[in-house]
């Protein structure tokens, strides 16, 4: 397992390098979904940028969709872009009925047109020390696995016919999976042997998060293997860098002293993390640049080397088949 010290040194070293930026691309006529686009997030910057470049974008989040919609539209107006390029919709990846309803709504509303699915939404419910019990979703899966991976797999399966059609008709459709450098905390055997129905004795959120992110790379690479030649549908995975977002904001504490401490720690944290604008660039590039090399892992707007485990096609195939079975057991699938 790579040590977090060398990871930190690498990140800090890169803060002093120039930040790669995605080159603007005319996205008119391209239909894009970005999951997890709350204000302050990577998804927000991704959705806004692609809409500014002319794409028809659906941005999702779980909570205050109205607030997200008005911020995104205001931002587009301020930049002289068409606010109608963005539509906002609620989506909770851990709610199977919600995923089905979203996919059905999208199909009807956009006449089945979808060129790029950006699977960006994710959670990390951080634990500071190992625990005895894993937090489980209502349907019994470890929560990071359920939200970050299985819910995303469910959504991708539901939208697959649309992406395949777009690939055949336009010659280029994509699934961009936002993973993380922390995927290397997990190994392939974790994906099966311990399983997602976790009753592990030592639960650590960082490992669970890493496991969900390893699975996101396998899913992207398997999409490339299954559908690139047959449907021009490509799958890529992204590490955005270490970025100041709602996910990385220091935990808030109650009371006046707590609030002051939170303000100070947030200010200090922001000094050593990328902005969400800089962090979104690799995802934006993967969604827009022509052509894209599929079946790859991207970081700093370029192909990078993910862990050896993530490049094992046997595991990816097995995980895909297993995930279809898991998703098949969800209510009303």
Ligand X SMILES: NC(=O)c1ccc[n+]([C@@H]2O[C@H](COP(=O)([O-])OP(=O)(O)OC[C@H]3O[C@@H](n4cnc5c(N)ncnc54)[C@H](OP(=O)(O)O)[C@@H]3O)[C@@H](O)[C@H]2O)c1
Q: Which residues are catalytic?
A: 209
Contact 332, 97 (CB under 8 A): yes
**38 counts as binding ligand X under rule CB under 6 A:** yes
Query: Which of the residues 263 through 292 are near ligand X (CB under 6 A)?
Result: none
- Kindly state the smallest distance separating residue 257's Cβ from ligand X, in Å: 25
Report in angstroms how near the CB of residue 19 gets to ligand X at its nearest: 14
From its phi and psi, is residue 242 left (phi > 0), alpha (psi between -120 and 50) or beta? beta
> From the list 58, 114, 122, 166, which residue makes contact with ligand X (rule: CB under 6 A)?
122
How many residues can be counted in the chain?
333
251/15 Cα distance (integer angstroms): 23
Instruction: Kindly compute the dihedral angle of the four CA atoms of residues 147, 89, 244, 277, in this order, to the nearest 10 degrees.
Output: 130
Among 70, 127, 170, 248, binds ligand X (CB under 6 A): 248
* Helix axes of 65-78 and 42-52: crossing angle, nearest 10 degrees: 40
Residue 303 CB, nearest approach to ligand X (Å): 17
Query: Which residue of the chain is nearest ligand X when measured via CB?
Result: 122
CA 262 to chain CA centroid, nearest Å = 27
Does 96 participate in binding ligand X (rule CB under 6 A)? no
The interface region with ligand X, picked from 223-231, 246-254, 306-314, 315-323 by CB under 6 A, is 246-254
Nearest distance, CB of residue 160 and ligand X, angstroms: 18
Give the CA-trace dihedral at 132, 318, 322, 287, to 10 degrees. 90
Residues touching ligand X, count (CB under 6 A): 30
Q: Does 41 bind ligand X (CB under 6 A)?
A: yes
Q: What distance in Å separates the CA atoms of residue 242 and residue 244, rounded to the nearest whole number?
A: 7
Through-space distance between the first and last CA atoms of the chain, rounded to whole angstroms: 37
Find the part of the chain contacting ligand X (CB under 6 A) among 29-37, 162-170, 196-204, 300-308: 29-37
* Segment interacting with ligand X, rule: CB under 6 A, options 12-20, 22-30, 90-98, 298-306: 90-98
Q: Which residues bind ligand X (CB under 6 A)?
A: 35-38, 40-43, 61-63, 91-94, 120-123, 147, 178, 180, 239-240, 242-243, 245-248
């Amino acid at each position: 397992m790579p040590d977090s010290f060398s990871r930190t040194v690498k990140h800090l070293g890169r803060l002093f390098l120039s930040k790669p930026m995605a080159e603007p691309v005319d996205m008119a006529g391209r239909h894009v979904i970005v999951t997890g686009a709350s204000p302050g997030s990577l998804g927000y910057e991704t959705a806004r940028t692609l809409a500014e470049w002319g794409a028809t974008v659906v941005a999702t989040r779980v909570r205050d969709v109205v607030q997200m919609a008005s911020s995104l539209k205001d931002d587009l107006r301020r930049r002289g872009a068409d606010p109608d390029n963005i539509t906002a919709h609620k989506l909770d990846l851990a709610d199977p009925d919600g995923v089905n309803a979203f996919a059905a709504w999208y199909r009807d509303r956009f006449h089945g047109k979808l060129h790029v699915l950006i699977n960006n939404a994710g959670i990390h419910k951080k634990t500071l020390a190992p625990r005895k019990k894993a937090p489980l979703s209502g349907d019994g899966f470890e929560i990071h696995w359920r939200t970050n991976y299985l819910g995303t797999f469910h959504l991708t399966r539901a939208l697959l016919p649309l992406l395949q059609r777009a690939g055949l008709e336009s010659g280029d459709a994509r699934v961009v999976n936002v993973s993380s450098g922390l995927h290397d905390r997990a190994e392939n055997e974790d994906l099966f042997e311990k399983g997602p129905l976790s009753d592990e004795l030592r639960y650590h959120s960082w490992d669970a998060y890493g496991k969900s992110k390893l699975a996101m790379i396998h899913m992207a690479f398997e999409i490339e293997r299954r559908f690139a030649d047959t449907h021009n549908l490509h799958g890529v995975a992204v590490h955005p860098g270490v970025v100041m977002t709602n996910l990385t904001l220091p935990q808030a504490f109650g009371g006046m002293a707590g609030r002051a401490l939170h303000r100070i720690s947030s200010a200090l944290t922001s000094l050593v993390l990328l902005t969400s604008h800089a962090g979104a660039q690799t995802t934006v590039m993967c969604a827009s640049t022509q052509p894209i090399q599929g079946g790859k892992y991207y970081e700093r707007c370029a192909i990078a080397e993910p862990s050896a485990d993530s490049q094992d096609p046997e595991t990816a195939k097995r995980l895909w088949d297993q995930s279809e079975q898991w998703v098949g057991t969800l209510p009303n699938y």
